Structure 1
Amino acid sequence: MRSPLIRRIPRELLGEWKKYFALFGIMVITIGFVCGLFVANNSMETAGNESFEKYNIADGYFNLRDEATDKLIDAIEDEGITTYKQYYKQVSERIPNKKNAEKSDIRVFVNRDQVNKICLMKGEFPKAKDEIAIDRMHAENVGVKIGDYIRVDGNNMKVTGLVAFSDYSALYEDNSEIIFNAITFDVAVVAQEGFDSIKGATVYQYAFTYNDKPKDTEDKKLKSDDIVERLYKLAATGGDEDNPDFEHLNEVTGYLPEYLNEAIHFSLDDIGKDKIMGEVLLIILIAVIAFIFAIAVSNTIVNEASVIGTLRASGYTKGELLRHYVTVPIIVTLLAAVIGNVLGYSCFKNVVVNMYYNSYSLPTYETLWNSDAFIKTTVYPVLLVIVINFVVISGKLQYSPLQFLRRDLSKSKRKKAIRLPRWSFLNRFRLRILMQNVTGYFTLFIGIWFVMISLSFAVGLPATLKNYQNHAIDYMIADHQYILKKSVDADGNKITTDEKSAEEYSSRILLTIDGVHVDEEVTAYGYTNNSKYFNLPYDVDKYEVWVSEPFADKFSLQEGQKITLKEHYTSDTYDFTIKGIYNQPGIVAIFMPNDKFNEIFDYDEDHFTGFMSEKKLDDLDEDNILTEVTVDDILKMVRQLDHSMGGYMDYFSYACMAIAVLLILLLTKIIIEKNTVSISMLKVLGYTSGEINSVFIRLTTIMVVIFAAITANLSTFVISEFWKIIMYEMNGWFTFYSGPKDYLKMVIMVIVSYLIVVLLDMRRIKRIPMTDALKSVE
């Protein structure tokens, strides 16, 4: 025989359709977005992993000072690797007819057909001397389309195609940079004739693959460590360590194995982390919604206590009633999961894909069915709703039939009511309402905290970038920092300048071997006596150094502590003692006197790397300058992050406000429904709607304002810790910033969301009839 309780389910859904529709809407959006995230991530991650074989990504590359001779190449390949020429020229890129376009650098390669192949996204590869194919992501950022002309090293070249380099899925100009830069850095491919027409200096880069493929990352590291040491020795001896041949001598100027190449791995790592974050957010939000379901059903049980008592007395078991009251939340969750999955594979997947293509230079991909996405966005929510509702509702059904009939559903057997302060009647009534709805207000607190955590990121990221941008000049040791190719010119004379503010300095890149981020790049600086740019003493012992404040913060370093750093391309290590913490923001670095620098790193006494200067050094020969570091170089990271994520933060803020409206609406509705009889009684006693609103609405308003103020601080702390975890995985260090204006903005956004709810709550209170109090058996 069919249970009569089944007929109550449609009636309950229709009777409370607004509440269930709101819960349904939140879950559809959440499940849909997370499903889209899982599907897009899995599809793009699979395409990225397959690209290693599809595009034959090399095991690494090394740069030489000069083009290698055949003898040197043969000696290098005898070490168990195969080399491939991957020469490039890095020159200026300008976009005609766009005055506001920023100055860019473009790294131009000849088309590759063996390793690190290139994916043609649109158009065709260049064939003529004046044709070029540039990175798709950079082209979108600067507004270049196929058929447009750009100036490359002063030459007008026609863009014939948009491409994605397999070894530049994230446009890192230098592997040590905090973030990639697809705005002022570009990679491109030209025909050989076009490459020869560009006047810039050729960088002799050689990609290599191992003849015996490594088994895993650890094996890659071991092979890489062996190869880099052999490369240095072979280049320095011309390929014959026993009988150095000066005709074949060379020098390794750069080396990077594939497993450490951020340009290859950053996008894939980021996609993987996003999947984990999406899963966590899904579980948290569904858990909050499950508690809302449980509270709503518990409130229904209280309101229907006499009906439940009658059913229990008529022979219905606790299990039957438990299954009945859990059915509606399960049905709503299942429907939301099904529709959310459909939207995930259609709409939301494309949203996520566009977000990734807006940040990374990814190759084409194919949408794949993801069973993991279906399980996590369907099974997880349903299980969470079932478990939480079973636990909460079963606790509410533990009373005897007689207790239900008497509406005696309080576990507390207090004989006397809690004595309240001698306040006015309405104030005491407010306090009593607060005490009776502790669970509801606690859930409201959790809901607001969840929204506030999301808002902290949406508001805090732009504020952090803006703060970094405003203080960028403080991160520069000098307005102009020149790095020379050598400290002597072609005639062997020491390079000098007439600029009075110029000062010699030395620098060298080292790596950490332990701590929160192994292989973190640390710049070792050597400064002159009485330096204008380094306010540090010169008379210190060998191996005593000062560490920059960001270095100390990131690795929890203290004065007197010992640190070990290693060479970038060899296994040589150096043990330093921290003399003190130097207040130099923005960089991870150590500082020591220049004479100690030259002694430790085995340089000549008068060696230096370049010049610090307050003004541009126009008297330096361009041929002697390796690079110049300016404020624009510091700001590249800010521009890229702002471009990749800044635009989405406004939309994310509005989404958070929408979720806040729905969550607060649901929770305040439950609180009002729970107190329907009390509200009706106040109306019977002659209180106006305005006075009743002052009891319930004012109390909830006070609680929302208090919760918003508390959670604004708590959420900023949570996001700050989360930000540290992100920075631990990257080179460099800067802290998350959220100022007083940002706190106020977050609180106001939650209060504005609540004010929208207030209008609906006032209408709901006004529609409660006085007859509810007269019907009550209490």
Structure 2
Amino acid sequence: MTPLAKRLPRELRRNIGKYLGIFLLMCGSIALTSGFLLAAHSIGCLIDDMRDAYTIEDGRVTTSFEVTDDQLKAAEDAAGDVGGVTLYKNFSIDAIIKKTAGDDGTKRTLRTYAHRAKVDIASYCEGKEPKADDEVAIDRVFATNNNLSVGDKVELEGRTYIICGIMTQPDSQALFLNNSDFTVNTITYGVAEVADGGFAALEDAGGAPAYTYTYSFTFTDRNLPTADRIDAEQDMVEALTDADARVDDLIDSDSNQGIGYARDDVDGDSMMWMTLLDIIIVIMAFVFVVLTDATIEEESAIIGTLLASGYRRREIVLHYLALPAIVGVVAALLGTALGVAFFTEPMRSLYYGSYSLPPFQVYWSWEIFVKCAVVPAAALILITLVGLLRKMGKTPLQFLRHEASGKSGTKRGLQLPERMGFVSRFRLRIFLRNLGNFATLFVGIAFASLLLLFGLAILPTMTHYADNLETSLVAEHQYTLKAPVELEGTAEEREQWSAIERLQSVDGALLSAAQDADDELDDAADAAQTAADAATTSPSAESLAAAQDALAKVQDKKDALYARLDDLADALGCNRDEAIDLIDKASKIDADNDDIHPVNTTDNDAGAIAQAEKYAVYQLQYDRGDGNGQETISVYGISSDSRYWKGLDVGGGCVVFGGGLLDKFGWSEGQKVTLDDKYEGEHYSLECAGKDCAWGSKSDMNIYMSIDDFNELFDNDAAYFNGYVSDEKLDLDARYFAGDTTPDDMRAVGDQFIGMMSKMIGMMVGLAVFIFLLFMYLLTKAVIDHSARSISYMKVFGYRDSEISHLYIRSITLCVAASLVLSLPVIIGSLTAIFRSMLLAYNGNIEIYAPAWSMVACVGIGFATYLVVALLHMRSIKRVGLAEALKVQE
């Protein structure tokens, strides 16, 4: 062993606190990151495999009413240019679920499907698929959050079901009640599947909502380029529209948050963790540089002697690089091993608590090993080496004269004002001599404060966002409709529209057959009348026979009509006369006339009708740019003198933008914005031209105009609308009812977001305090070590340990306190920028909200952490001996 190598164990023991702190921080950071990245990589591989393993749809189209076979064929034919497409019925019912025992009254919704065996096939992690009519399988995350398990009994729309299985659905990996929602809702919303008989029974349950008519589709070529797939989907929608189907929504799999959100979230978080690790490693490397610089300055005479004795500069550089390199490599390897062994499962649980995914399995990745073990160690060694080379570029004489810090010649201190007292000048000298250490300390404190404030402010931010969501609703109920339906109407009109609804609830082929039979009877009656007239005018055996044959055909057609009417009556659950009565009532309304709106068959209270207000809404898309996808923006058409949207001036062609749009995208008054209609391929240019350019909170992502301007913009009928706002509950026909959004629903979304983020708060705060502790200890220890000789001199002159601590510790304390306070503006600006960049690719706008108490807490926690460090440094000062002052120094 060379003489220099023999110094390494002594150096390690002498600075065990320094190297142990660096080791723990680096090892802990890499362990957390490697564990997360391996879990994220495994989840990503799992999600990628699901597309083929569970036949995930390529997209879905939702219609207001069930489409006919001819309409489905028109859609399939429209996709012939890309090799064909297969559409599957994927109907669902949003059923209210209640526990049969211990229900707390919270409204919970299960989007229930009939068991699917061809597309979007469920993955069961417990139990079995439903076979009996009273069995139901529910989503794993929803079951966990609501303490449900196999064998429990629940009520769906008042009908009792037994939970037979716990599963995940591949098209609902993230539980979004609406695809435009900002975040998942795993507490009050879930998905389920039942047997075909149970699905039919659920539809027949009293008060149950009607089907949502969704048709999932898969292309024959599953590897179609995205552009070709989107073109084919638009052709399908156009074909359905041309075939008189009412299309409500088209969602490609890439824009379906239930399918893609989990993967996007995992990828985004992976980038965030890698960035966090890179920052920690870079800061750690500079800490090594600072500490190594201090060591070189302290051992300057030894280095000069070694150089003068014939040691090469390379040997000395390698000597001082050895310990940082060993510590860095061991920390990187051990941290990666610990992360893989112990932190993969906790990181996995963070995602499996929020997303519905199949059973987890680990997929190893050498890329993660390189990122977490090789790159950090290499970066640490490289940066430390550069710092050493910069520091070692001096002559042996300069090292012997202790001029390794930079300038040659006799060092002269900065002239300080004579008026300053001794204590003030002494502290200022300490600051100036350790300026590099304190600059690095400021960066470390700012970074740790950023993590800490993020952890402290995330709950207030989410609470603030939830409050904005709740207050963004202008009424207790905001109803959306599949098609316009009038609340006001006479009893006779309600009966007529009820007859139409009832007739349209059966297979259209039965109605068509009855209509055809009626037409054939009319034709036969006309032919019989003609034959009878001919027999009367020119009586003959032939004319009489023809008349008799015609009358026989009339009877046959009449029998055929009665048979068709009997089939229709059976489907309606009534007798023939009642079916004829329904047809007679329905025939009095021209249902094909777009100027005539259906009348709600349920009569609401006159007061409720009077206070309800019509509105129209349509969703457009805005390209965020830079590959960040498209923002879904709701365009509202409201009454110019609305009683609900108070203070919103939309008269005279004014267009008002929600405050969130202006805040997120930086739009301003007079700016024209181009929005796209992904269904029709149209483009709309809107200008914020109201008296008040923005309305609502910074969470409001809507655009408002008068309902007349709305209908003119979208080429609707003048009387078109598709929603009601009301402070009172309305009874709307399930056939036209699309949804009811209440403040409680918005609060539930906000609470869900809070629940998701709260899992990370402890980790963020703990990591920040740990970084605080180590950075402050390492960098302030360098100040104490650098001043060891001066401290020894002061002891020789009779200064007590408490007085010395008063001078040195107080100087460090002032710098730490100043760093904590001065870094706050930088931190808040950085948090705002980070939030904007992180959330730009997601719908909605969340503004960072850091209340005063969180900033005070950030400074307080940082300073309290420093006090622990200060106590350790007081012990270090006591350990400085008088012999230090007696060492020879040229």
Normalised to the residue count of structure 1, the TM-score between the two structures is 0.94
Following the alignment from structure 1 to structure 2, what is the Cα–Cα distance between the partners of residues 175 and 398? Answer: 62
Q: For residues 65-110 of structure 1, give each alpha carbon's deviation from its aligned partner in whole angstroms, at most 9, with x where no partner exists.
A: 3333322222222222111121211110123444546311101112
- Taking a change above 3 Å as real, the CA distance of residues 710 and 229 of structure 1, as seen in their structure-2 partners, is farther
Following the alignment from structure 1 to structure 2, what is the Cα–Cα distance between the partners of residues 326 and 101? Answer: 66
Following the alignment from structure 2 to structure 1, what is the Cα–Cα distance between the partners of residues 637 and 846? Answer: 23
Tell me the residue number matched to 1:519.
630
Tell me the residue number matched to 1:240.
none
- Taking a change above 3 Å as real, the CA distance of residues 514 and 288 of structure 1, as seen in their structure-2 partners, is closer
Tell me which of 242, 248, 262 is aligned to 1:233.
242
* Matching residue's letter, 2:218: T
Is the contact made by 2:74 and 2:239 (CA closer than 8 Å) also made in structure 1?
Answer: no
How far residue 341 of structure 1 moved from its aligned partner, in angstroms, is: 1.3
- Taking a change above 3 Å as real, the CA distance of residues 98 and 724 of structure 1, as seen in their structure-2 partners, is farther
Tell me the residue number matched to 2:607.
498
- Taking a change above 3 Å as real, the CA distance of residues 74 and 230 of structure 1, as seen in their structure-2 partners, is closer
Is the contact made by 2:172 and 2:259 (CA closer than 8 Å) also made in structure 1?
Answer: yes
- Taking a change above 3 Å as real, the CA distance of residues 415 and 137 of structure 1, as seen in their structure-2 partners, is closer
- Taking a change above 3 Å as real, the CA distance of residues 29 and 415 of structure 1, as seen in their structure-2 partners, is closer
Q: For residues 299-328 of structure 1, give each alpha carbon's deviation from its aligned partner in whole angstroms, at most 9, with x where no partner exists.
A: 222222222122111100111100110011
Q: For residues 217-265 of structure 1, give each alpha carbon's deviation from its aligned partner in whole angstroms, at most 9, with x where no partner exists.
A: 333333333333233223x1xxxxxxxxxxxxx3222221111111101
Tell me the residue number matched to 1:347.
342
Pairing 1:753–2:857 present: no
SS of residue in 2 equivalent to 1:368: coil
Following the alignment from structure 2 to structure 1, what is the Cα–Cα distance between the partners of residues 253 and 823? Answer: 43
- Taking a change above 3 Å as real, the CA distance of residues 43 and 661 of structure 1, as seen in their structure-2 partners, is same
Pairing 1:595–2:604 present: no
Which one is further off, 518-527 or 259-268? 518-527
Is the contact made by 2:437 and 2:783 (CA closer than 8 Å) also made in structure 1?
Answer: yes
Pairing 1:608–2:721 present: yes
* Matching residue's letter, 1:81: V
C-alpha RMSD of the superposition: 2.0
* Matching residue's letter, 1:706: A
Following the alignment from structure 1 to structure 2, what is the Cα–Cα distance between the partners of residues 66 and 477? Answer: 29
Is the contact made by 1:137 and 1:358 (CA closer than 8 Å) also made in structure 2?
Answer: yes
How far residue 733 of structure 1 moved from its aligned partner, in angstroms, is: 1.5
* Matching residue's letter, 1:645: M
How far residue 726 of structure 1 moved from its aligned partner, in angstroms, is: 2.4
Pairing 1:529–2:640 present: yes
How far residue 166 of structure 1 moved from its aligned partner, in angstroms, is: 0.7
Is the contact made by 1:220 and 1:259 (CA closer than 8 Å) also made in structure 2?
Answer: no
Following the alignment from structure 2 to structure 1, what is the Cα–Cα distance between the partners of residues 225 and 269? Answer: 24
Which one is further off, 125-134 or 25-34? 125-134
Following the alignment from structure 2 to structure 1, what is the Cα–Cα distance between the partners of residues 73 and 480? Answer: 33
Tell me the residue number matched to 1:247.
none
Following the alignment from structure 1 to structure 2, what is the Cα–Cα distance between the partners of residues 538 and 16? Answer: 71
How far residue 140 of structure 1 moved from its aligned partner, in angstroms, is: 1.3
SS of residue in 2 equivalent to 1:498: helix
Following the alignment from structure 2 to structure 1, what is the Cα–Cα distance between the partners of residues 108 and 802? Answer: 63
Tell me which of 213, 217, 225 is aligned to 1:204.
213
Tell me the residue number matched to 2:414.
418
Following the alignment from structure 2 to structure 1, what is the Cα–Cα distance between the partners of residues 411 and 815? Answer: 29
Is the contact made by 1:38 and 1:370 (CA closer than 8 Å) also made in structure 2?
Answer: no
How far residue 42 of structure 1 moved from its aligned partner, in angstroms, is: 1.3
Q: How does 1:514-593 map to 2 (within 5 A)?
A: 515=625, 518-534=629-645, 535-537=647-649, 539-541=651-653, 544-580=654-690, 581-585=693-697, 586-593=699-706
Pairing 1:26–2:8 present: no
Tell me the residue number matched to 1:442.
439
Tell me the residue number matched to 1:68.
67
Pairing 1:736–2:848 present: yes
How far residue 474 of structure 1 moved from its aligned partner, in angstroms, is: 2.8
Is the contact made by 2:350 and 2:759 (CA closer than 8 Å) also made in structure 1?
Answer: no
Is the contact made by 1:512 and 1:566 (CA closer than 8 Å) also made in structure 2?
Answer: yes
SS of residue in 2 equivalent to 1:273: helix
- Taking a change above 3 Å as real, the CA distance of residues 337 and 301 of structure 1, as seen in their structure-2 partners, is same
- Taking a change above 3 Å as real, the CA distance of residues 113 and 525 of structure 1, as seen in their structure-2 partners, is same
Tell me which of 798, 822, 836 is aligned to 1:686.
798
Tell me the residue number matched to 1:162.
166
Is the contact made by 1:283 and 1:380 (CA closer than 8 Å) also made in structure 2?
Answer: no
Following the alignment from structure 1 to structure 2, what is the Cα–Cα distance between the partners of residues 415 and 747? Answer: 37
* Matching residue's letter, 1:223: A
Pairing 1:361–2:361 present: no
Normalised to the residue count of structure 2, the TM-score between the two structures is 0.82
Q: How does 1:624-643 map to 2 (within 5 A)?
A: 624-643=736-755
SS of residue in 2 equivalent to 1:520: strand
* Matching residue's letter, 1:546: V
* Matching residue's letter, 1:168: S
Pairing 1:258–2:371 present: no
Is the contact made by 2:466 and 2:749 (CA closer than 8 Å) also made in structure 1?
Answer: no
* Matching residue's letter, 1:468: Y
Q: For residues 698-745 of structure 1, give each alpha carbon's deviation from its aligned partner in whole angstroms, at most 9, with x where no partner exists.
A: 111111111111222211211111111222111121311111111111
Tell me the residue number matched to 2:39.
40
* Matching residue's letter, 1:644: M
Q: How does 1:116-265 map to 2 (within 5 A)?
A: 116-198=120-202, 199=205, 200=208, 201-234=210-243, 236=244, 250-265=245-260
Tell me which of 691, 695, 699 is aligned to 2:807.
695
Q: How does 1:396-475 map to 2 (within 5 A)?
A: 396-412=391-407, 413=409, 416-421=412-417, 422-475=419-472
- Taking a change above 3 Å as real, the CA distance of residues 101 and 732 of structure 1, as seen in their structure-2 partners, is same
Tell me the residue number matched to 1:289.
284
Following the alignment from structure 2 to structure 1, what is the Cα–Cα distance between the partners of residues 447 and 217? Answer: 49
How far residue 61 of structure 1 moved from its aligned partner, in angstroms, is: 1.0
Following the alignment from structure 1 to structure 2, what is the Cα–Cα distance between the partners of residues 90 and 258? Answer: 21
* Matching residue's letter, 2:447: F
Following the alignment from structure 1 to structure 2, what is the Cα–Cα distance between the partners of residues 319 and 420? Answer: 40
- Taking a change above 3 Å as real, the CA distance of residues 76 and 345 of structure 1, as seen in their structure-2 partners, is same
- Taking a change above 3 Å as real, the CA distance of residues 513 and 439 of structure 1, as seen in their structure-2 partners, is closer
Is the contact made by 1:498 and 1:619 (CA closer than 8 Å) also made in structure 2?
Answer: no
